């Protein structure tokens, strides 16, 4: 079991962008945190009004964006245009190659979103794009994976949990799998361990952990190949 506290994430602050990286990213390298199996990136990004990431290329990666606050605008070389608001989730499969831009769609408010990269099961797939509204229901909603709001080219699941105070949840990593939890709001407690906003926990094969939630808790739970 590995714990990634919010303040231990790798920071990038370049004025228009304030980002915290769970794993090694860009010029940041942490040999202890290069990914959790097929899960390679969780970037917690806040982008200033009117700013953003200019057009740049990707290939052979499943890229998922979860919008928390503000408006995120997406454009890509396949002709897809998205205007994503809080409660929306987007998946771009880069496949054989795609160019895209992401920027703050507001001139007055910041945009806050999580960008997630998961390695695909097969390289050289055709690029594709999806977006969906996430229902604001209590409990578990599968954002990406089998039975989820979005498809994904990997034997993986990304779920969002919304819990009330006292709700109990338990997670176990199966053989040759990794589980990773990332807290967005509130907190979950298990024994003497508390995970609050920005904190994460990785479970490897055979490891299991139970938690009790505080009121107003929301977190992401990943299940990916090791």
Q: Could you report the per-residue pLDDT of 64-98, keeping only the tens digit for each?
A: 999 999 999 999 999 999 999 999 999 999 999 99
Q: 28 pairs with which residues across the strands?
A: 25
pLDDT score, position 187: 98
pLDDT score, position 47: 98
Decide: 195 and 218 in contact? Cβ < 8 Å: no
Give CA–CA dist 208/178, Å, rounded.
11
Q: Which fold has domain 2-225?
A: Jelly Rolls (2.60.120)
Give CA–CA dist 63/77, Å, rounded.
15
Decide: 108 and 90 in contact? Cβ < 8 Å: no
User: Which tokens sit at 38?
Assistant: 């097929």
pLDDT score, position 54: 94
pLDDT score, position 61: 98
Give CA–CA dist 1/157, Å, rounded.
19
Give CA–CA dist 46/48, Å, rounded.
7
- List the chain domain ranges: 2-225
pLDDT score, position 23: 98
The parts of the chain modelled with pLDDT lower than 50 are: none
pLDDT score, position 139: 97
pLDDT score, position 102: 96
Q: Where are the beta strands (DSSP E) in 119-192?
A: 128-133, 139-144, 157-163, 168-172, 177-185, 187-190
């Amino acid at each position: 079991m590995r714990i990634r506290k919010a303040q231990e994430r790798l920071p990038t602050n370049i004025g228009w962008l304030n980002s915290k990286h769970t794993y090694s990213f860009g010029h940041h390298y942490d040999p202890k945190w290069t990914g959790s199996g097929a899960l390679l990136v969780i970037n917690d990004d806040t982008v200033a009004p009117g700013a953003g990431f200019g057009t740049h290329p990707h290939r052979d990666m499943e890229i998922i964006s979860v919008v928390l606050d503000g408006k995120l605008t997406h454009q890509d070389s396949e002709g897809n245009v998205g205007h994503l608001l809080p409660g929306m989730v987007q998946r771009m499969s880069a496949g054989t190659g795609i160019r895209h831009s992401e920027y703050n769609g507001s001139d007055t408010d910041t945009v806050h979103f999580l960008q997630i990269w998961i390695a695909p099961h097969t390289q050289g797939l055709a690029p594709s794009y999806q977006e969906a509204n996430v229902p604001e229901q209590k409990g578990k909603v599968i954002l990406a994976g089998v039975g989820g709001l979005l498809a994904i080219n990997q034997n993986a699941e990304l779920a969002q949990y919304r819990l009330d105070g006292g709700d109990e949840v338990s997670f176990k990593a199966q053989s040759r799998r990794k589980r990773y939890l990332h807290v967005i709001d509130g907190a979950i407690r298990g024994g003497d361990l508390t995970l609050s906003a920005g904190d994460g926990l990785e479970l490897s094969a055979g490891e299991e952990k139970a938690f009790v939630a505080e009121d107003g808790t929301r977190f992401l739970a990943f299940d990916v190949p090791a």
